[in-house]
């Protein structure tokens, strides 16, 4: 029974194994249960009149909703810019050898991570209760410009401060982790070549830290998009508050909530795709071959599975062969 003698293989390699695969009856049973539940849900969504799908469609492009959408996008973008810049500053302060700088950063992060963002939002909105007047001048000296706090900080700015300053505390920890993940040998090599501290940070350390910083920052952005709906408590008319205003007038609560949710889903989906490409960009040099783009994955679903010629052609999530 020597396979080399009888096999058709010319190279003398033993015949490829053709075995009956292990059956998984449990998986089949589970799949049936899930399929039935999914069918029930779809049936309910389509037939239950309470969903009022025509109202959902109308509400999606309602002017008030579209305006709220714009406010949500602005608030998310600006709060994240504040968070990232503040986070980098706080991270550098935390890593500073100066105990005053690192101490101040520590206390900031402690306070802003340790209290609910909802409370912080309301706090910034009521800033006028503590300081009715804000001014620019010499500390403990004369003032140059001053104005009423309520005029200087409208609701949008209060929401921005609440979300942005809170985000900075979280981003600080993310950036710090990224900077510390770059080995000291990299800094030494750059210094040995005569590069300055700033050049070393900008050209060598940050680009490598980005690979660690980007994925959680993407998550933070997606999370911020949804957290921005909390600004409704200080009556900022962002996406959720716009919906709230509509259904408290029309009492069509469910369809309006669905319309609002659809917008949130669309936005988070776009952000997810964007994050994927940014991560791919910063993976240069870290992976021998870049991961496939979503398009390549979809193509891989049809071609790659039949002949996975190289490791990176394998569809992630389906590596083990996708049968039930």
Q: Does 310 bind other proteins (CB under 8 A)?
A: no
Distance CA 10, CA 15 (A): 10
Q: One symbol per residue from 203 to 222: x for binding other proteins (CB under 8 A), - otherwise; what is it? A: xx--xx--------------
Closer of 183 and 293 to other proteins (Cβ): 183
Closer of 67 and 191 to other proteins (Cβ): 191
Distance CA 293, CA 142 (A): 59
Q: Does 88 bind other proteins (CB under 8 A)?
A: no
Binding residues among 104-163 for other proteins as defined by CB under 8 A:
none
Is residue 207 within 8 Å of residue 123, measured between CB atoms? no
**Which residue stretch of 22-30, 41-49, 162-170, 188-196 sits at the interface with other proteins (rule: CB under 8 A)?**
188-196
Q: One symbol per residue from 229 to 268: x for binding other proteins (CB under 8 A), - otherwise; what is it? A: ----------------------------------------
Distance CA 115, CA 70 (A): 28
Locate all alpha helices (DSSP H) within the chain, ordered by sequence.
3-6, 25-47, 53-60, 63-95, 99-114, 117-125, 127-130, 149-152, 155-181, 184-192, 197-199, 206-227, 239-250, 253-282, 294-302
Q: Does 290 bind other proteins (CB under 8 A)?
A: no
**Which residue stretch of 110-118, 150-158, 197-205, 245-253 sits at the interface with other proteins (rule: CB under 8 A)?**
197-205
Question: In Å, how far are 40, 60, 66, 81 from 240, measured between CA atoms?
Answer: 29, 12, 11, 22
Give the footprint of other proteins on this chain (CB under 8 A): 183, 185-186, 188-197, 199, 203-204, 207-208, 282, 284-288
């Amino acid at each position: 029974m020597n396979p080399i003698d009888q096999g058709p293989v010319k190279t003398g390699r033993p015949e490829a194994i053709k075995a009956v695969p292990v059956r998984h009856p449990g998986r089949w049973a589970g799949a049936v249960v899930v399929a039935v539940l999914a069918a029930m849900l779809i049936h309910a969504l389509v037939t239950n009149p309470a969903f009022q799908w025509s109202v959902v469609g109308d509400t999606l492009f309602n002017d008030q909703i579209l305006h709220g959408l714009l406010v949500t996008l602005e608030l998310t973008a600006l709060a994240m810019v504040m968070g990232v810049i503040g986070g980098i500053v706080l991270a550098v302060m935390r890593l500073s050898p100066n105990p005053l700088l690192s101490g101040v950063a520590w206390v900031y992060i402690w306070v802003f991570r340790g209290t609910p963002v909802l409370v912080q939002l309301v706090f910034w909105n009521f800033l006028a209760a503590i300081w009715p007047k804000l001014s620019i001048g010499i500390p403990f000296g004369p003032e140059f410009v001053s104005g009423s706090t309520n005029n200087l900080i409208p609701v949008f700015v209060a929401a921005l401060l609440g979300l942005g300053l809170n985000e900075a505390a979280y981003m600080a920890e993310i950036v710090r982790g990224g900077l510390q993940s770059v080995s000291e040998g990299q800094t030494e090599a750059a210094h040995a070549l005569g590069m300055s501290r700033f050049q070393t940070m900008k050209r060598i350390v940050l680009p490598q830290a980005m690979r660690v910083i980007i994925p959680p920052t993407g998550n933070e952005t997606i999370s911020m998009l949804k957290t921005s709906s909390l600004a409704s408590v200080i009556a900022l008319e962002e996406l959720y508050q716009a919906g709230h205003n509509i259904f408290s007038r029309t009492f069509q609560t469910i369809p309006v909530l669905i319309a609002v949710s659809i917008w949130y889903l669309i936005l988070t989906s776009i952000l997810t795709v964007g994050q994927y490409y940014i991560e791919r960009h910063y993976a240069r040099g870290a992976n021998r071959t870049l991961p496939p783009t979503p398009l390549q994955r979809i193509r891989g679903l049809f071609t790659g599975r039949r002949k996975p010629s190289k490791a990176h052609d394998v569809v992630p999530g389906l590596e083990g062969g996708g049968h039930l």
